[in-house]
């Protein structure tokens, strides 16, 4: 498996569209690591601001809504940029949706547009540990177990439960351990969810 690499928030497709095939859990690992070293809300904000999926979704809204003369979002105003407006809206999502629960802080954000390949994004940051999490739920039948294995290879571990099976992947470095757990419908092979976790290693 390849090592994690950094990408910029502007890496979201310029058209504001994204497919399930575009998503690569390894791309978010550097930002989960950064978020694990940030306190609560700032950690969540970092995860959301650097999510290509979320930026593509919000970007499509901005492009559709921000028109010259629009009092709410005037794209002709000096200094206006799509990326800047996207970041502004994501920060608003974090502030409005922030929940403190069980010694952690989290934000859940549903994707209302039915044509989007994902239905929800969630981020969580532990208040006490250097842990960070990102969860994405996939739209029905958009992505399959075969696609996961074609992209990432064979999982290092699998398991089967009553309603789903899981494929596990991981990246290990001297500074963190990151895992991705894909939940798969065992009947049709459709991927339902991926949960990406990162635990920073304590310096010795």
pLDDT digits (tens, 9 = 90+) for 102-133: 788 999 999 988 788 999 999 999 877 889 99
pLDDT-derived band at 5 (thresholds 50, 70, 90) equals: very low
Strands 118-126 and 131-138: antiparallel
Instruction: Give the integer Cα–Cα distance in Å for 201 and 204.
Output: 9
| Cβ-count burial 18-54 (b if 16+ within 10 Å, e if not) | bebeebbbbbbbbbbbbbbebebbebbbbbbbbbbbb
Q: What percentage of the chain exceeds 70 in pLDDT? A: 91
pLDDT-derived band at 203 (thresholds 50, 70, 90) equals: low
pTM of the model: 0.86
Instruction: Give the integer Cα–Cα distance in Å for 49 and 109.
Output: 13
Instruction: Give the integer Cα–Cα distance in Å for 63 and 177.
Output: 37
pLDDT given for residue 12 in this prediction? 40
What would the pLDDT profile of 57-89 be if each residue is shown by its tens digit?
999 999 999 999 888 899 999 889 999 999 999
When pLDDT is averaged across residues 18-23 and rounded to a whole number, the result is 85
The 176-184 sheet, strands edge to edge: 99-101, 104-110, 118-126, 131-138, 191-200, 176-184, 165-172, 157-160
When pLDDT is averaged across residues 2-10 and rounded to a whole number, the result is 40
pLDDT-derived band at 4 (thresholds 50, 70, 90) equals: very low
pLDDT given for residue 16 in this prediction? 54
pLDDT-derived band at 179 (thresholds 50, 70, 90) equals: very high
pLDDT given for residue 14 in this prediction? 38
């Amino acid at each position: 498996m390849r090592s994690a690499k950094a990408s910029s928030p502007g890496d979201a497709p310029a058209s504001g569209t994204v497919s399930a095939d575009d998503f690569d859990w390894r791309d978010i690992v550097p930002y989960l690591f950064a978020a694990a070293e940030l306190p609560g809300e700032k950690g969540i904000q970092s995860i959301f601001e650097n999510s290509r999926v979320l930026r593509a979704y919000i970007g499509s809204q901005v492009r559709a809504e921000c028109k010259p003369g629009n009092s709410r979002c005037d794209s002709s105003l000096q200094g206006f940029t799509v990326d800047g407006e996207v970041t502004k809206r994501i920060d608003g999502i974090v502030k409005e949706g922030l929940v403190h629960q069980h010694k952690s802080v989290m934000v859940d954000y549903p994707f209302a547009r039915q044509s989007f390949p994902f239905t929800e994004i969630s981020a969580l940051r532990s208040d006490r540990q250097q842990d960070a999490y990102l969860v994405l739920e996939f739209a029905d039948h958009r992505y399959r177990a075969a696609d996961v294995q074609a992209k990432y290879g064979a999982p290092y571990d699998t398991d089967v439960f009553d309603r789903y099976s899981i494929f596990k992947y991981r990246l290990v470095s001297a500074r963190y351990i990151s895992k991705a757990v894909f939940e798969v419908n065992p009947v049709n092979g459709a991927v339902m969810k991926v949960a990406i976790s990162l635990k920073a290693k304590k310096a010795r």
